[in-house]
């Protein structure tokens, strides 16, 4: 099973990133546009990396799963 892996430093970086984007939103746009964009892009990149690692490590299992759907 492929999963994302993080530690306490990951949590610190997430808090810093969310805080920075929330501050920019409040000062600049008065909305949550950059915060939503930041969260969406980072989760999309994480999903892509997990998919890439899984597809390179388990190619036959993924092919069988796709074929069964």
Q: How far apart are CA 14 and CA 20, in angstroms?
A: 10
pTM of the predicted structure, to 2 decimals:
0.68
High-pLDDT (> 70) share of the chain, %: 94
pLDDT one-digit tens code per residue, 41-68:
999 998 999 889 888 999 999 889 889 9
With contact defined as beta carbons under 8 Å apart, do 41 and 51 qualify? no
Q: Give the confidence band of 16 by pLDDT, cuts at 50, 70, 90.
A: very high
Helix/strand/coil percentages in the chain, nearest 5: 85, 0, 15
């Amino acid at each position: 099973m492929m999963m994302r892996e993080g530690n306490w430093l990951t949590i610190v970086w997430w808090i810093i990133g969310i805080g920075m984007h929330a501050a920019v939103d409040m000062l600049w746009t008065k909305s949550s546009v950059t915060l939503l964009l930041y969260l969406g892009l980072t989760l999309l990149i994480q999903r892509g990396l997990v998919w890439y690692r899984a597809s390179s490590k388990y190619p036959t299992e993924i092919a069988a799963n796709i074929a069964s759907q």
